[in-house]
Amino acid sequence: MQFSFNHFNFNVFDLDKSLEFYKENLGLEEVRRYEPEHGEFIIVYLGDGETDFRLELTWLRDWDKPYDLGDEEYHLAFVVDDYDAAYELHKENDVICYENEKMGIYFIADPDGYWLEVLPKKR
């Protein structure tokens, strides 16, 4: 028996704002959307165009406050081929929330406060 990764979910407060953030800062594109007739939620799957892994964004119609992310001791990581250009983009967009220069990584925060690690592609 073998398991493989499929997707990871973030619940988001403002779907349009989140979609814009993920496209502008990480180049993720919508690959699939599910909107049931009752309109209680919308699920959007984002892809990177290279892997089958998906980031699922779920918006709940009746959710009326920002999500409580607890101690924020988890994150999703991205590898980038041009680390310096990515860093400049994220610095310009004012989304960097933590840097670890010694390890050569940094984190950005999405509109809901989820942390996303940015790693350079191994050389």
Do the beta carbons of residue 118 and residue 86 sit within 8 Å? yes
Q: Compute the Cα dihedral for 91, 88, 67, 78 and give only its sign.
A: negative
Tell me which residues are annotated as active site. Answer: 117
- Closest among 21, 6, 26 to 80, alpha carbons compared: 26
Q: Round the CA-based radius of gyration of the chain to a whole number and report it.
A: 15
Contact status, residue 41 vs residue 61, Cβ threshold 8 Å: yes
DSSP states along 56-76: EEEEETT--S----TT----E
